[in-house]
Structure 1
Amino acid sequence: MGFDFDALGDEDDDSPFPEVRASVSNIDDPEMPAMTLRMWIIGLTLCLIAAALNVYYTFRSPAPSVAPLALVLISYPIGKFMALVVPTKTYRLPRWLGGLEFSLNPGPWNVKEHALVFIMANVAVTPPYALNAIVVLQIYYGVAYGFGFDVTLVLATQLTGFGLAGLCRRFLVWPASMVWPQNLVACTLLNTLHAEEDEESGGVSRYKFFMYLFGGTFLFFFLPGFLFTALSVFSWICWIAPTNVPVNQLFGVSTGLGMSAVTFDWSQITWIGSPLMIPWWAEVHVFAGFAIFYWILVPILYYTNTWNLAYFPISANVLYDKFGQEYNVTRVLTTQDTFDMDAYNNYSPLYLPATLAMTYLLAFALSTCVLVHTLLYHGRTLVNGFKRMRVEKDDIHAKLMRNYPEVPDWWYGVAFVTFFACAIIAMEVWKTGVPVWALLLAVLLPVVYVLPSGFIYAMTGQSITLNLIAQIIPGTLLPGNPIANMVFKAYSVQTLTESTYFVQDLKLGHYMKVPPRSTFVVQLVCTVLAAFVQVGVKQWMFANIPDICQKGQKSSLTCPHNQVFFTASAIWGLVGPKRQFGPGSIYYPFLYAIIIGAFLPFPFWLWQRWHPKSRVKYISTPIILNGVGFIPPATGINYSSWFVVAFIFQYWIRRKNFLWWSKFNYITSAALDSGTVFCFIFIFFTLQFPKGGVTLKWWGNEVWMNSKNLFRVAPSSH
């Protein structure tokens, strides 16, 4: 399955996909400098500062985040300024240092340097997932191994995926059909910033359009973001009937199904990704899956009290006990933080709210569906790739990239082995009790899923995670070992996630004609340095900030993400999946979803084999199952508003005015994203963060919090 088969063309001098033609340049200047000293100074400075800030604020609630797109905009004037004022003198290193020539100012700040800064930001500014495990060990289990363990584990989880990503290039980067829609927005923004003038005559330029829309979005976000927050959570039906239980369960936003399509908050619309970025056929898949499973099937299961669902809120991201209260994990722990079977039997089994139960059910089905789908639809591609044959005909971008020496596979192989060895060192040197065979199994999961996940992500912009299966496997094989469960989960999930991000950046470098070896060095160096900075910030915070991760901490450093991670470690590492889904559990039927998922792709694959011209060939069962993976905490309003905007831009405008769409669609997404992010950060640091903060108390900021979402059936012992 490709990106948009209806749009295929025979252009030899450009991409066969109009989405790519609209956002990616089909020309290149091989002499343009990329990995310059200026790029290193700007990129490392901004990325390491952003990485440190993001680690600090990941422990805070609420928390802003410095997004990679923000660094693209910040680095642009800095690069232009340096090109203007820094001397152009050329320097030469001594012969004993290689005699390399370099200049602090090799000419105008160019698009390849800028692309490398963005690549740095993409792989380095997000807080490492393994920090969750490290903090939970220290705060909740009282185990602190120190800086050496922390940085070794972070390096392993961050960079094993780097080696894996490079080995997948021939499948996920070089083929033209691997579009990676996230990159189209970035390419459009970069090309817009560096284009001296639009080639088209007449009309507003892309750059002016971006600046106008960026400014308008920045100003408008003050309404839903601060002045009138009900515009963000626009559940007006619940305002009319705040005590009507079914109305709030169906139309409520925070703990309901969000059966509405109206919000004026771009951050709500883009909760599951930009609707201007993902191809229309994939958006139809995602919304169809959401509507079927969450707006139709969930209410049926809930109001028939299947699996005792009606004893709990219809939508929540926490687990419950038999009394209808949030599950108290500490009641099933001994003083040594091990599982207490007697306390568990005297307290309660774990119960799932309706939307979370559906999420688990679909995750079981997806675990096998995505593998079978990949073998059926991409089997020939995999065989050709492993035979070192060309997977498909080169497009213009692949041809232009032949001007640059490719990175040898063994470079990535060495990186993979080296950082996997770091994981073994972390477990063995610091005596964590996590067996090496568990690490082998943990890394095997992303190795198996990286290509299926990559195919889905590259074509649809929808990522696949291993959160559920990466908790169930160690919970089954190593019961009662929460440390092993956390390490296994962190290593598996982050290796797959990082490999996807690294491949995405490799494709961005491919589109921007950045030499592959420059991309390799930049990704590796920035991620390694960021790991030391991020762990250092964490170490400083926990050594110097009193009451960190405690309720009521004066700077709001309450560690909300770590609380969720701890709960998951206790549930899957202590209580264990056997008690949750094994024989005797009311959720035992969930396991049949694994079998059903393996057979789901076959009917559609067989039908398109018999009827090649049928539109059934566009149906992708993994996308239908995976697209709803943001629920919870995402709700119906995030999907419905996203789909409405997608219909307007990706279907209606694209067909009615393709020239406007090809020129402005992706720059519109970039401007809306950037304006919203900058306004959010501005509001946080100027109005909310200063001591005391500014709070506007009036109807428009409170009405959306007045609705009730009670249980339809009164709780009882069941």
Structure 2
Amino acid sequence: MCNLEQLFFPTDDVDDCPIEQVRFTVSIKDDPTLPALTFRTWFLGFIACAVLSFLNQFFGYRQVPLFISSVSAQIVVLPIGRFMAATLPTKSIRIPATPWSLTLNPGPFNLKEHVLITIFANSGSNGVYGVNIITIVKAFYFRGIPIAAAILLTQTTQLLGYGWAGIFRKFLVDSPYMWWPTNLVQVSLFRALHEEEVRPKRGLTRLQFFFLVLTSSFCYYIVPNYMFQSITALSFVCWIWKDSVTAHQIGSGLFGLGLGSFAIDWATVASFIGTPLATPWFAIANIMFGFVATVYVLIPIAYWTNAYEAKRFPIFSPHMFDDDGQKYDVSRVLDQKTFKFNHEGYHNYSKVNLSIFFAFTYGLSFATLAATITHVALFHGRTIWQQTRETFRNQIGDVHTRLMKKNYKSVPQWWFYTLLALVLALSIYTCEGFDRNLQLPYWGVIMAAVLALFFTLPIGIITATTNQTPGLNVITEMIIGYMYPGYPLANVVFKTYGYISMTQAITFLSDFKLGHYMKIPPRSMFAVQLVGTLISSSVYFGTAWWLLESVEGICQPHLLKKGSPWTCPGDDVFYNASVIWGVVGPRRMFGDLGQYKKLNYFFLVGILAPLPVWALSRMFPKQKWIGLINMPIILGATGAMPPGRAVNYLMWGAVGFVFNFYIYRRYKRWWARHNYVLSAALDAGVAFSAILTYVTLQIRNKNGMNWWGMELDDHCHLAWCPTAPGIVVEGCPVFK
């Protein structure tokens, strides 16, 4: 079957790509004379990367965080690039004392520049995991960290993945059988944006629509951000039964099950889980089914049967508690001088207790990891095996590989090996130097690197063929927690080097494949990715350091002023994980000394869960909907809770249903034309409005009127309360 494009644009090349979806989506035409790494690429790419990095870190500390993807930059830079092409001078500028010259305007703004700018921006939208470590050290453990160590940590954890990407690039990029399904969406969007667009009669172009929505979103967000913050979560059940703990537990969208809660705020919709407009309906359906099963079936049964003494603690909380139902005093089990686990203090104090939801979050993460392995083996195992076997056999590649090798110089392998050796050496120095401030010894860095190296190829194959990426965060925490217990920073640093370097490698490889499909010179790709990573890491770090130093009481709600948004929900969970896996250790939580050891049965649940779905799909092959049931997604549906809340999921699911089910089916042409543009415009409007409000008002402690609606709360103050007899918690009734 040939590419439809060949019917209209005949070429000498034959589209022999073995993947049908790629043949229908990716062009086999290329113009190697188009300039790619131009002044416009560097200028717009630098700005897009820095702005996205700043905005995502800025919003990451807020009560209602917002993730802004590179799609926003992909849409915004197009008119700017075209404006620069129309206005900048075309005359070449000679660089003094060199034979080189450059031009600010090499001609029309082209597709290759656009792709490189988007990949540049993508570096700013992926987050920097190492910043979480700096945050918990300064804002939760209240300790100092040398600024040089902090900078090196953010840079090395992001750059280490380049080495693994270089090692496996031949198999995961050059092979036509590794097709990276998610990239086809980007390819389609690029081609749509660069097609000539005629304004419909009595309608708007996509660009006009974008700016209209952006302006509306910008203006409206002043309300939930500055004038009426309570509309970020409204829970009417609590208003009806004001004095009922059970009603508040059931109705609170922030601290309970969220039954009937809602919000009138795009940030609530898109925070934690991302925009629902970019998620296929079948995935939304799986996630919402898993959410309902977990939040409205599993958790109520476990709580009201008092599993793990659940009634002694809140039903939903990311925090840890002692046996008396009070917040766990970590200082009593952590030696402040050595920053290590205090055995005597622990035995004289209390074991660590979790809310029933937080406990089952870990159980479900065990199940998700196991289910992913089974699901991929059953549903994609034969395909993966065949494609992997062909990858090692096929040394020629398809038409896209031939075009890339014919028209462009590849990146020398020694570039990757040199970068890997340099970054690995810097990583060891970062951990061993600075009086071993980060606690992890050199062998831990090497072990984390070996772990990442071992998993990059199999997880890369799974991602490149199924669009699913199993996470290593829990496994890495568990491994170092058993091997090196009692060291909180060692645990999170090991997790970051082992898990994030592998994740970064997958991201780099995915971007390389996008450049492969769009016929971008590989060396230009390498330069943009490397510089983008350095810029994004620096901006993420600088933004975090600035906020940690300038916002008084940041990440500590009891120290913040009323209505302050700087509660750091994601970092709060990260901190608690460092205590659970690092300070106390997995043996005292989930091992033979732990009260939560039965949660290990979730591994078995995960292994077995995909089997019935697979069996039904084989028994009834004509029922295509059975194959859309994805047990890893269902089991991992609430993986963002905490810090995500019930109201986030409910609003996300509702908006996803409206746009990706109802509008997609009834108004498909409108959806195809405007859906992704709408998402990007809403994100951008919220971001610009929040930044403007902060730098003009909130930074000067002008936080609006003091009234009920300005509380960043859903007014379900009893949702935090325990219901076990005799447990005394301030502000809560005592049950007899």
> Structure 2: how far apart are the matches of 1:259 and 1:558?
24
1:420 counterpart residue number:
424
More displaced stretch, 412-421 vs 234-243: 412-421
- Measured against aligned partners, the alpha-carbon deviations of 1:131-168 in whole angstroms (never above 9, x if no partner) come to 33345557748564551x43433332101223334536
More displaced stretch, 168-177 vs 473-482: 168-177
1:160 counterpart residue number:
160
1:224 counterpart residue number:
224
> Structure 2: how far apart are the matches of 1:414 and 1:559?
37
Compute the displacement of 1:363 (Å): 1.0
Compute the displacement of 1:474 (Å): 1.0
Contact 2:18 2:177 in 1 (8 A): no
1:585 counterpart residue number:
594
- 1:316 aligned counterpart, secondary structure: coil
Distance 1:373 1:394, change over 3 A: farther
Contact 2:252 2:716 in 1 (8 A): no
Where in structure 2 are the equivalents of 1:296-307 lying within 5 Å?
296-307=297-308
- Measured against aligned partners, the alpha-carbon deviations of 1:23-82 in whole angstroms (never above 9, x if no partner) come to 988876543322112321332255346646766776788888876455556655654454
The root-mean-square deviation of aligned C-alpha atoms, in Å, is 4.3
Contact 1:176 1:394 in 2 (8 A): no
> Structure 2: how far apart are the matches of 1:419 and 1:386?
32
> Structure 1: how far apart are the matches of 2:103 and 2:277?
40
- 1:102 aligned counterpart, secondary structure: strand
Contact 2:178 2:464 in 1 (8 A): no
Distance 1:398 1:285, change over 3 A: farther
| Pair 1:714-2:714 in alignment | no
1:328 counterpart residue number:
329
| Pair 1:215-2:215 in alignment | yes
Where in structure 2 are the equivalents of 1:19-34 lying within 5 Å?
29-34=31-36
Amino acid at match of 1:487: V
Contact 1:93 1:101 in 2 (8 A): yes
1:6 counterpart residue number:
none
Where in structure 2 are the equivalents of 1:123-272 lying within 5 Å?
123-124=123-124, 128-134=128-134, 136=136, 140=141, 142=143, 144-145=145-146, 147=148, 149-165=149-165, 167=168, 171=172, 178-180=180-182, 184=185, 188=189, 196-198=196-198, 203-260=203-260, 262-271=262-271, 272=273
> Structure 2: how far apart are the matches of 1:332 and 1:260?
40
- 1:705 aligned counterpart, secondary structure: coil
Compute the displacement of 1:296 (Å): 0.8
Compute the displacement of 1:689 (Å): 2.7
Contact 1:219 1:679 in 2 (8 A): yes
More displaced stretch, 555-564 vs 290-299: 555-564
Where in structure 2 are the equivalents of 1:437-586 lying within 5 Å?
437-447=443-453, 449-450=455-456, 464-510=470-516, 512-532=518-538, 565-586=574-595
> Structure 2: how far apart are the matches of 1:412 and 1:352?
44
Contact 1:251 1:258 in 2 (8 A): yes
2:341 counterpart residue number:
339
Residue number among 672, 685, 688 corresponding to 2:682 in the alignment? 672
Distance 1:126 1:279, change over 3 A: closer
Compute the displacement of 1:238 (Å): 2.0
1:291 counterpart residue number:
292
Distance 1:460 1:381, change over 3 A: closer
> Structure 2: how far apart are the matches of 1:581 and 1:193?
51
- Measured against aligned partners, the alpha-carbon deviations of 1:645-672 in whole angstroms (never above 9, x if no partner) come to 2222222332333333222222222222
1:281 counterpart residue number:
282
> Structure 1: how far apart are the matches of 2:714 and 2:487?
42
Residue number among 654, 657, 660 corresponding to 2:667 in the alignment? 657
Amino acid at match of 2:599: F
> Structure 1: how far apart are the matches of 2:101 and 2:696?
45
- 1:210 aligned counterpart, secondary structure: helix
Distance 1:179 1:306, change over 3 A: same
**Structure 1: stretches of 5+ with no match in the other structure:** 1-8
> Structure 2: how far apart are the matches of 1:100 and 1:244?
76
1:112 counterpart residue number:
112
Number of positions where the alignment pairs a residue of Structure 1 with one of Structure 2? 704
Compute the displacement of 1:253 (Å): 0.9
> Structure 2: how far apart are the matches of 1:639 and 1:536?
31
More displaced stretch, 201-210 vs 663-672: 201-210
Distance 1:549 1:233, change over 3 A: closer
Contact 1:19 1:662 in 2 (8 A): no
> Structure 2: how far apart are the matches of 1:639 and 1:22?
34
> Structure 1: how far apart are the matches of 2:35 and 2:579?
51
> Structure 2: how far apart are the matches of 1:568 and 1:80?
47
Contact 2:63 2:565 in 1 (8 A): yes
- Measured against aligned partners, the alpha-carbon deviations of 1:311-345 in whole angstroms (never above 9, x if no partner) come to 11111111111111211101112242222222212
Distance 1:193 1:229, change over 3 A: farther
Residue number among 5, 9, 13 corresponding to 1:13 in the alignment? 5
> Structure 1: how far apart are the matches of 2:23 and 2:241?
50
> Structure 1: how far apart are the matches of 2:322 and 2:645?
23
Compute the displacement of 1:375 (Å): 3.4
> Structure 2: how far apart are the matches of 1:675 and 1:160?
34
Contact 1:369 1:598 in 2 (8 A): yes
- 2:102 aligned counterpart, secondary structure: strand
| Pair 1:601-2:602 in alignment | no
> Structure 1: how far apart are the matches of 2:146 and 2:713?
47
> Structure 1: how far apart are the matches of 2:555 and 2:677?
40
- Measured against aligned partners, the alpha-carbon deviations of 1:592-633 in whole angstroms (never above 9, x if no partner) come to 222332333334334445554444333322222223210112
More displaced stretch, 121-130 vs 321-330: 121-130
> Structure 2: how far apart are the matches of 1:270 and 1:556?
17
2:647 counterpart residue number:
637
> Structure 1: how far apart are the matches of 2:253 and 2:64?
18
> Structure 1: how far apart are the matches of 2:588 and 2:349?
14
More displaced stretch, 246-255 vs 665-674: 665-674
Distance 1:426 1:383, change over 3 A: farther
More displaced stretch, 335-344 vs 46-55: 46-55
Contact 1:290 1:628 in 2 (8 A): yes
> Structure 1: how far apart are the matches of 2:495 and 2:472?
8
> Structure 1: how far apart are the matches of 2:236 and 2:22?
40
> Structure 1: how far apart are the matches of 2:476 and 2:402?
39
- 2:160 aligned counterpart, secondary structure: helix
Residue number among 346, 354, 360 corresponding to 2:362 in the alignment? 360
Compute the displacement of 1:449 (Å): 4.9
| Pair 1:384-2:394 in alignment | no
> Structure 1: how far apart are the matches of 2:53 and 2:197?
34
Compute the displacement of 1:349 (Å): 0.7
Distance 1:41 1:641, change over 3 A: closer
Contact 2:206 2:674 in 1 (8 A): yes
**Structure 2: stretches of 5+ with no match in the other structure:** 7-16, 729-736
Amino acid at match of 1:106: P
Compute the displacement of 1:359 (Å): 0.8
Contact 1:311 1:715 in 2 (8 A): no
Distance 1:402 1:235, change over 3 A: farther
- Measured against aligned partners, the alpha-carbon deviations of 1:108-130 in whole angstroms (never above 9, x if no partner) come to 33343233223222214666322
Identity of aligned residues (%): 34
Compute the displacement of 1:524 (Å): 0.8
How does the TM-score come out when normalised to structure 1? 0.84
